[in-house]
Every structure is written in structure tokens, then in C-alpha cells.
Amino acid sequence: MSNAVSALQGSTYDGVVRVEEIGLQGMITLRADLGEKPIATALKSVCGTKMPGQRGIESKGDISALWMSPDELMLLCPYDAANDVAAKLTTKLAKTHALVVNVSDARASFRLQGAGLREVIAKLAPVDMAPDQFGIGEVRRTRFAQAAAAFWLTDDETAQIFCFRSVAPYMFNLLSTVSRPGTEVGYF
């Protein structure tokens, strides 16, 4: 086996916020009717998390379940554990109409850290980032300039973003450009 590397191998940029490519991230996509009980049961027994509600996120230990659409869930786990978790879920869901795939290498993940976070995101995505409109624990799939991406806030000063691996350098350049020192707007 060749060594697995992430798209930008942990590039960082320090500006209004700190932009960081977070390296290898285990990702599993689960496609099924999320309203069905066997799906929630399998998720609970393999990952320990509840079924997230609409646009929600549920975490337990180092595994998180992100609601992507009424029939798609994204599971985040340590990179090395992804194959194992996917195999367990596949076994549990053998009799259900469901698809589980390890897609860890298909995407790139970024972390933004800093107080200017909301404003950095608002410059790129058509999302109302006012604190009373977009809270912690909501997953939002949208676009950052021209690239499709999803993001959520883990606390007031930390956000996580993922996009397709093929647009990782584009995303890193975007995030770095809009967080260049001196470009603060101070809106939020």
C-alpha cells in the first residue's frame, strides 16, 4: 500500500482567522431513507450516535454523524477506523436498502479558527451568518465562491469545512485570501 496523504498535507495560513487543512479524515457516506428505524438502530450500535435531525450533527467520542439530505448521512471518524466502521455498518444493514461507502480520500477538510470566523465565511458563501440565524451544531451545505462545500461551527471560534479533493487548493486560496490581515469588516 502507498502512503495515504491528504490533499494539501496540512497547509496553514494565519490571518484574520487561522486556516488549516486538517489532514487525513475518515469519511463514510451512508445513503438510505434516514427516517427508517433499522438505519437509526445500526447507527446507534456501530457509531454510538443518535440519528441527527434535519441539518443536524450528532457526535460521540471521535465519531460524528452529519445530516446531508433526507437520504444521506456523512460519518466522520479517524482515518484508520473508516474501513472498519464501514464494514460493520454494511453488515448491520445487509437486509436494509442502504449503501455504505468509505469516501475518506474523496474530500479535503479545513478548520477555521478565530473570532473573525463568521465574517470570513460570509464573504464566500450565500449564508446568513448572523449568530441568531446560524448556530453551533448546524450543518450547512452550500458553495464557497464556485466550489460546493459543507461547513459547521464546533464552537464560537471554530468552524470545519469540507469540499471535494479536486478543489482543495482553490478552497485553501479562497479562505486565505478573504482572511488576509487588514480585510476585517467587523460586521458580526
Nearest-approach distance from CB 127 to another protein, in angstroms? 9
Element (H, E) at 68: strand 63-69
Phi, psi for 56 (deg, rounded to 5)? -95, 175
Nearest-approach distance from CB 128 to another protein, in angstroms? 8
Nearest-approach distance from CB 167 to another protein, in angstroms? 13
Nearest-approach distance from CB 106 to another protein, in angstroms? 15
- Decide if 43 contacts 49 (C-beta within 8 A): yes
Distance of CA 63 to the CA centre of its chain: 12
The Cα–Cα gap between 79 and 166 comes to 19
When the beta carbons of 62 and 128 are compared against another protein, the nearer one is 128
Could you please report the per-residue DSSP string of 103-154?
-GGGEEEEEEESTTHHHHHHHHSSS---TTTS-TTB-EEEEETTEEEEEEEE
- Residues at the site binding another protein, with contacts judged by CB under 8 A: 54-55, 68-70, 72, 126, 128, 140-143, 148
When the beta carbons of 83 and 142 are compared against another protein, the nearer one is 142
When the beta carbons of 70 and 186 are compared against another protein, the nearer one is 70
Nearest-approach distance from CB 25 to another protein, in angstroms? 21
When the beta carbons of 85 and 124 are compared against another protein, the nearer one is 124
- Decide if 50 contacts 56 (C-beta within 8 A): no
- Decide if 26 contacts 79 (C-beta within 8 A): yes
When the beta carbons of 81 and 125 are compared against another protein, the nearer one is 125
